[in-house]
Structure 1
Amino acid sequence: MLLCIWASVNLVAQAPKKDTSRNGKTIIIISADRENFQQIDSVTQVLSLAGSAKVQQDKTIFEADSIALNQLTNILEAFGNVHINDNDSINTYSQYLKYIGKEKKAYLNKKVKLTDGKGVLTTEELVYDEQTKIGIYYNGGKVVNGKTVLTSTEGYYYGETKDVYFKKNVFLKDSGFTVKTDTLLYNTNTGITTIVAPSIIVSGKQTIKTKDGYYDTKSKKAFFNQRPFIDDSTYTLTAEKIAVDDKTGLSEYEGNVVYRTKDSLGYDLIANNIKLNRNTNSLLATQKPILLIKQPQDTIYISADTLFSSKLSELMKSKTVPIVRDSIINAKLLTVKNTKDTTADRYFEAYYNVKIFSDSLQAVCDSMFYSGEDSVFRLFKNPIAWAQGNQITGDTIYMFLQNKKPERLYVFENAMSIQKLTDKYFNQIKGNTINGYFVNGKIDHLRAKGNAETVYYGVDETNKYLGVNKATCDVIDMYFERKDDGSKPQKIVLRNNLEGTAFPMRQVNHEEIRLRKFKWFDSQRPKSRFDIFSN
């Protein structure tokens, strides 16, 4: 009887070894320290393998401390130190395995680990399909790939593409940043993380909210779509598209870009394209950029073809700040205080078609330089400024602000101020230089120096015109009466080497007595902030 049983076991055990597995579905026994065969019923034949048990189906090898195999149904269970080698490409480990041979589907439990040579997936329960190379977990899992660690409640591993699809409570941690989301795609081969759902990315003091894009953990490059939002320690930024290179510190923002500083007295920047350099703390804005210098009541709006900004302290090291002959301006310009105010340690350059608007002051020019340290606008090449009805021109104009309000205006070379009284009558003063002084944001008086000239219309108490004076002298002072609706000329004082003529109103050609190079540029004046936004 024992001999018959031994022979039966031997035949059953040896038969699979002879099977060449032509259909690729039959499980064959490779080795085991001990074997035991049991016929339970007509459909259940259990072959028990113990001690370094090893079986094979097609190109997949199964190893465990012990294996129970039903050769009729092609179902096996494995216990202890389970190892599945799938064609030397994917290796799976666990403490328990149930394998359906006809479906080539594995159900693994307890200390499950799957590795593809790149990443390692660990979980307590995993369903793995040998045919599709897809592994699924539903009760929490983790993937580690170098310094990248991802966890989620559910996960879908695709062996052919090396993609892992994470769902529910997804958290990614990499060197320098984390991602929190509900759904995420990650490739263990390329190291690319693909954002497919609303996600929060935290990198140092910066938080990014996005719902579409990718991050390459190898190249440290990222690209985000569908209007991502960045919240930094000192600013917020949003755009239609964002491209970031963490290695170089460069980033680019496209489509309705809005950059806002968190300081209530800082600045905002709007453009269709902004490029940032994190290393130099500089930015370049193009495609209809608009700069807003914020203040409680009289925000300053600036538009140009191109805007550039960086740290003033870095600029001072290169000594490329425009030098002005006025020693007072130079002294202020070439000194940068040691301050924690990041807004003060910043300058802006604007190029081509520059327009400036505030309620108290407007200007246009070809190029501009503004420093947050001294709050001075430096306008170059055909600059024109307007202040309460006064048009001021010259080769170069400097506008000084104090507490974000006009304090002083300095014009040098071919300086000229014109004030329109009627369509025919214009008060005019001219000199080598003009200084304008403001009180509470309103113009108080103008001083023209050097070869000064004037055309001035006198009025009586009822504002009736008395005549027009044309004169030259060394210095001309024009004083204004400050009112809520602006400043009106009050008197004019001519100093040193005066020469002039007074004309009755009806005995002079008012166009002919205008000063040389007289031009009225009111059509170019930005009359509201909407003129800036429509630029």
Structure 2
Amino acid sequence: MFMNAFLQFLKYRTIFLLLNLFSIAQMLSQQSKLIQLIHADSLVGRKYDSKTVRELIGNVQLKHENIYVWCDRAIQYVDENRIEAYGNLKVKQDTLLLEADQGVYLGDKKIAICEGNVKLTDGRTSLEAKYGNYDTQKKLAIFKSNVKLVDSTTIITSDELFYYRTDKKSIAVGNVAIKNLENNITIYGGYFENYDSAKYSVIKTNPKLVQIDTSSDGKVDTLIVIGKFMEAFRDTSVSMFSATDSVVIVRGDLSAVCGDVFYYDKKDLIILWRNPIVWYENSQISGDSIVVKLIDRKIDEVFIYGSAFAIDPADSAYPERFNQLKGKTMRIKFKENKIDEVYVEKNAVSLYYIFETGETGEKKPNGVNHVSGDSVWIKFKDGKMQRIKIVGGIEGVYYPEELIAGKESSFNLEGFNYVKRKPKKNAKLEIVWAK
């Protein structure tokens, strides 16, 4: 009987001790989550609405688990586990440093809310704004108002920016501008995502690319690209930029429209897809796809694949007359920024107007030649056609002046479509449409 009672006593005693140990462990765990004061030159404690409040002044240093806080002055709300910090605020978590004029640190949520000259430094990345929050658990920074992010190759400005440390991901919203310091390209838009680990970026909402370059003669040459959606792939060997849907390109005397464009920066190669049309000065070319090869950012060659068609005004005094060339494929070679030669393969057809110069120097029209063959080669001089060579299955017809005068449009080749309204840029680097 006595033994049974003693065993029952030990049983309840053990349960009581375990409950006490659990309560103590829980209390110690909660205490470890409280913000700890490491140093302050002076401390004033008081009660406010039955809550414990401490005012810390001078060289204040606090610690919360793996997070350190420094400031000139702080008010610590002990019961709320909250700090209001003023003057030279610094918050540090491993390699990240957050600085501001003032802010609030919420111990239970582990979030720092900062205001005034807010700056976050994380390795090679720095982030600045007027306002900034940092969630130390999610490792997420949200910055607002005059935001600026700087890393080794890029500067991003926006109205708001989300910086995910773990995923190395950034999202910028509102008046976004991304400047690449390596190639002097700036992209503007309303929304931007950057995945640093994948070396991939995408920009939406009225994106526009601007690249300001200077030619060898000191002339500023600016490239502008607009579309509805832009992406960048920054691989070590292949750097590719693309624009999708309603794409417009303007650079110097060259302008273009197409459905999609792909620009390989390191290869100096531009590929235009989906109904591309390219204008160079007054000349127009079109096809199923167009590839532009550059050397030192100048046009070297243009390749047109599928339904290739080139149109060039014959003479400004005769606005209805156009020299025309079409075929399955076409290659245009440039020299000193002017067309040097054109080579057309497969089902090549040429239409070119003839002009004669009289003794008085007056230029008179003298009909048109319609020539076809397996291939056509045309040589130019000073941008004007100098000679033409047709190879294989040659057929030619000459139409005298009296037959074509006033009826030029009826002699145009099948598929002719000269677009007079083409894109240009104004002084504000905006795309305008002009004839």
Category of TM-score, reference length = shorter chain: 0.7 to 0.9
**Contact 2:227–2:243 (CA under 8 A) maintained in structure 1:** yes
What residue in structure 2 maps to residue 424 of structure 1?
A: 320
Q: Distance in 2 between the 1:533 and 1:435 partners? A: 28
Task: Quickly say closer, same or farther: Cα 1:163–1:460, change in 2 above 3 A.
Answer: farther
What residue in structure 2 maps to residue 151 of structure 1?
A: 70
What residue in structure 2 maps to residue 480 of structure 1?
A: 380
**Contact 1:290–1:532 (CA under 8 A) maintained in structure 2:** no
Q: Distance in 2 between the 1:312 and 1:205 partners? A: 19
For residue 248 of structure 1, give the secondary structure of its aligned residue in structure 2: coil
What residue in structure 2 maps to residue 256 of structure 1?
A: 175
Count of matched residue pairs:
389
Q: Distance in 2 between the 1:200 and 1:246 partners? A: 15
Which of 37, 40, 47 in structure 2 is aligned with 1:121? 37
Cα shift at 1:190: 0.9
Q: Distance in 2 between the 1:216 and 1:141 partners? A: 22
Q: Distance in 2 between the 1:459 and 1:256 partners? A: 54
Residue 363 in structure 1 maps to residue 256 in structure 2: yes
Residue 375 in structure 1 maps to residue 375 in structure 2: no
Task: Quickly say closer, same or farther: Cα 1:515–1:188, change in 2 above 3 A.
Answer: same
Which of 138, 153, 163 in structure 1 is aligned with 2:82? 163
Kindly provide the amino acid, as one letter, of the partner of residue 510 in structure 1.
E
Q: Distance in 2 between the 1:222 and 1:172 partners? A: 13
> Which protein has the bigger strand share?
2
What residue in structure 1 maps to residue 7 of structure 2?
A: none
What residue in structure 1 maps to residue 5 of structure 2?
A: none
**Contact 1:405–1:440 (CA under 8 A) maintained in structure 2:** no
Report Cα offsets for 1:397-434 as digits up to 9, x if no partner.
Answer: 10111111111100011100011244311110001111
Q: Distance in 2 between the 1:159 and 1:488 partners? A: 85
For residue 402 of structure 2, give the secondary structure of its aligned residue in structure 1: helix
Q: Distance in 1 between the 2:69 and 2:384 partners? A: 70
For residue 206 of structure 2, give the secondary structure of its aligned residue in structure 1: coil
What residue in structure 2 maps to residue 181 of structure 1?
A: 100
**Contact 2:263–2:269 (CA under 8 A) maintained in structure 1:** yes
What residue in structure 2 maps to residue 298 of structure 1?
A: 221
> Which is higher, the Rg of structure 1 or of structure 2?
1
Cα shift at 1:125: 1.5
Cα shift at 1:442: 2.6
Q: CA RMSD in A?
A: 2.3
For residue 37 of structure 2, give the secondary structure of its aligned residue in structure 1: strand
Kindly provide the amino acid, as one letter, of the partner of residue 126 in structure 1.
L
For residue 410 of structure 2, give the secondary structure of its aligned residue in structure 1: coil
Cα shift at 1:350: 1.5
Q: Distance in 2 between the 1:173 and 1:223 partners? A: 16
Q: Distance in 2 between the 1:533 and 1:277 partners? A: 30
Q: Unmatched 5+ residue regions in structure 1?
A: 1-87, 92-114, 314-335, 337-344
Task: Quickly say closer, same or farther: Cα 1:165–1:507, change in 2 above 3 A.
Answer: same
Cα shift at 1:181: 2.3
Kindly provide the amino acid, as one letter, of the partner of residue 158 in structure 1.
Y
Report Cα offsets for 1:359-406 as digits up to 9, x if no partner.
Answer: 032111111212123111111111111112111011111011111111
Cα shift at 1:160: 4.1
Cα shift at 1:533: 4.6
What residue in structure 1 maps to residue 423 of structure 2?
A: 526
For residue 520 of structure 1, give the secondary structure of its aligned residue in structure 2: coil
TM-score by length of 1: 0.69
What residue in structure 2 maps to residue 458 of structure 1?
A: 354
Kindly provide the amino acid, as one letter, of the partner of residue 185 in structure 2.
Y
Q: Which moved more, 1:443-452 or 1:215-224?
A: 443-452
What residue in structure 2 maps to residue 307 of structure 1?
A: 230
Q: Distance in 1 between the 2:124 and 2:250 partners? A: 34
**Contact 2:425–2:431 (CA under 8 A) maintained in structure 1:** no
Kindly provide the amino acid, as one letter, of the partner of residue 513 in structure 1.
F
Which of 194, 200, 223 in structure 2 is aligned with 1:282? 200
Report Cα offsets for 1:278-335 as digits up to 9, x if no partner.
Answer: 110110111111122442232321111101111345xxxxxxxxxxxxxxxxxxxxxx
| Runs of 4+ more than 6 Å apart | none
What residue in structure 1 maps to residue 109 of structure 2?
A: 190
Kindly provide the amino acid, as one letter, of the partner of residue 69 in structure 2.
L
Q: Distance in 2 between the 1:159 and 1:299 partners? A: 59
**Contact 2:98–2:119 (CA under 8 A) maintained in structure 1:** yes
Report Cα offsets for 1:438-495 as digits up to 9, x if no partner.
Answer: 123332222211110011012234443222111101222333333xxxx344443333
Which of 277, 280, 283 in structure 2 is aligned with 1:387? 280
Report Cα offsets for 1:186-228 as digits up to 9, x if no partner.
Answer: 1111111112111222111111111112110110112111121
Which of 371, 376, 396 in structure 2 is aligned with 1:500? 396
Q: Distance in 1 between the 2:111 and 2:347 partners? A: 70
Report Cα offsets for 1:34-92 as digits up to 9, x if no partner.
Answer: xxxxxxxxxxxxxxxxxxxxxxxxxxxxxxxxxxxxxxxxxxxxxxxxxxxxxx89x9x
For residue 411 of structure 2, give the secondary structure of its aligned residue in structure 1: coil
Q: Distance in 2 between the 1:354 and 1:532 partners? A: 14
For residue 170 of structure 2, give the secondary structure of its aligned residue in structure 1: strand
Q: Distance in 1 between the 2:114 and 2:42 partners? A: 26
Task: Quickly say closer, same or farther: Cα 1:160–1:420, change in 2 above 3 A.
Answer: farther
Q: Distance in 2 between the 1:185 and 1:442 partners? A: 64
What residue in structure 1 maps to residue 14 of structure 2?
A: none
Task: Quickly say closer, same or farther: Cα 1:154–1:308, change in 2 above 3 A.
Answer: same
For residue 409 of structure 2, give the secondary structure of its aligned residue in structure 1: coil
Kindly provide the amino acid, as one letter, of the partner of residue 512 in structure 1.
S
What residue in structure 2 maps to residue 469 of structure 1?
A: 369
Kindly provide the amino acid, as one letter, of the partner of residue 199 in structure 2.
N
Matches within 5 A, 1:234-273: 234-263=153-182, 265-273=183-191
Q: Distance in 1 between the 2:105 and 2:91 partners? A: 10
Q: Unmatched 5+ residue regions in structure 2?
A: 1-26, 215-219
Q: Distance in 1 between the 2:432 and 2:144 partners? A: 26
Kindly provide the amino acid, as one letter, of the partner of residue 121 in structure 1.
L
**Contact 1:298–1:405 (CA under 8 A) maintained in structure 2:** no
